[in-house]
Structure 1
Amino acid sequence: MASTVTMIQTRVRVSRAVYRACTWNMSTACCRYRNECEKTFLRSKWRYTSSSPTLSPICLRPVVCPSRPLRTSHNGWILPRVSAAAVVEAMPKTVQPYLRLMRLDRPIGTWLLYLPCTWSIALAAQPGCLPDFSMLALFGTGAVLMRGAGCTINDMWDKDFDKKVARTANRPLAAGDITRFQSLVFLGGQLTLALGVLLCLNYYSIVLGAASLSLVLTYPLMKRITYWPQLVLGLTFNWGALLGWAAIKGSCDWSVCLPLYASGVMWTLIYDTIYAHQVITLSV
């Protein structure tokens, strides 16, 4: 009996040792494989430079960005970082000025226009149900088009001013990449597509959406006559808080829509004022 117990204990010890060895070998192999992946990725971020045109030793100069660390997935794989600006840069040269005119290389404005729409669409959904994804997609398309149209109108109004400001001198109209007539034709195309999106909604929403066009057209002029252009921007950017509810319910419940709209306007006042202070030295 004692010999049997001793034999079982010995087998258990051997099994544990084998398990530890296998586990250590697997983890070591995974770590080595991951390190090789990181080295390969980092190696692709190095570029070769030569100190002279003669056959001198090649030296490596790393391209580093400490403020933007490598992105990894949950299993350790390194993910590529793709920015909107890089996508625009990859487009044909003849198309790039129009995409930059729409600010597609800086999509934060589109998100700020789109978010109030999602709030009201979500609030208007039936209790216990998810928001209408087709409506979210429709409003997302409209946000891209109307934000692009608003930026086009803004640049057409401010072309002469933009040339004198360092922050805006590289905008397509100010830099002379496209003419004012070309931007006008492009604006007509954007508004036509936006009208097509609007016509997919109910009649009440069509009228309500068309009413926002006056704000889109006049906002750029507010910067010339008032110290509170952010207020007009808030009224414009948060119109989707009214439109999203109307698109789902068929009309606006003002007891819900007005507080939501007002809170969105206050939110815009805050973030646009912060942004104005951040770029104040570049806007003089």
Structure 2
Amino acid sequence: MSYKELIVVGELNVDLILNNIEGFPKIGTEIIANNMNLTLGSSSAIMAANAAAMGISTSFCGVVGNDNYGDFITSELKKKNVHTEFITKNSALQSGITIVMNYDQDRANVTYCGAMEALTFDLIPWDTLSEFKHFHLSNFFIQKGIRKDITKIFKKAKECGLTTSLDLQWDPENKWDFNFEACLPYVDIFMPNEQELLALTKQETLDTAIQHIEKSANIIVVKMGEKGSIAIQNKKRTTTEAFHNPTYVDSIGAGDSFNSGFIKKFIEKAPLTECLRAGNLMGALNTTAAGGTAAFVNQNIIKEKVKTIFNSEL
């Protein structure tokens, strides 16, 4: 593989994950969590780290604070062989953190954005972008510094000759202020999950949501959890079933791991069915360990786990 294949532009934070929690916190009270993990967080970083672990040459562009969490984030990315030369350290800001409270297969999150909001159009390495094959951006709503320029960003990425993908993620403000009619023509792969697509289009069913947006989009890929995934291109729909993990731990980052598997095959010019299958497989593998990256050590171990747990191949 070439030195520069994938560049991921997005937010960076740590996840403090609390498990085996005795109840739900109420104002004025204290409860106990019986397990804690500090891991690399953020949708974008999880996608980048797992793509690199699968063998894709990956670089990251984002902003962290000049602090211990920022050092931890860049160190964890480097351990996964993600190139970090485009990560900016901002001494005026603190690195972001998400407190994750896990309850079986559901969770509650509290996020401090910090340096995540400082990424801007000008910090993207436009002078070298044409050296890459694919451009991925995730978690649009939480990154206030790039909101107004999102269409401009994807238009310029296309002008640089890259294929592109976008995963909006959930809007914490629930406003869904994203002009998809203007932006999506420059996005090769739009990658929402089912609930995000319904919220964005203000529709009640997946079918009507797809109809509402498909005129503006090139390829739409909808993640549906245990129901698998669906791709829509030129009004043709392709559906693949999910892989089921018998030893579920948590689903933090499962959608991001889906993205990394899908994009790996897309870069390799595989057909859509194979891209969807790889996405589903990596999403399921994600749930075998705590957090979004622990299940993705390196390419060989990923292949071994996929064979052992799912009797399949990547």
Question: Would the TM-score normalized by the shorter structure come out above 0.5?
Answer: no
Name the larger-Rg structure: 1
TM-score (norm 2): 0.28
Q: Which of the two has greater helix per residue? A: 1
Q: Which of the two has greater strand per residue? A: 2
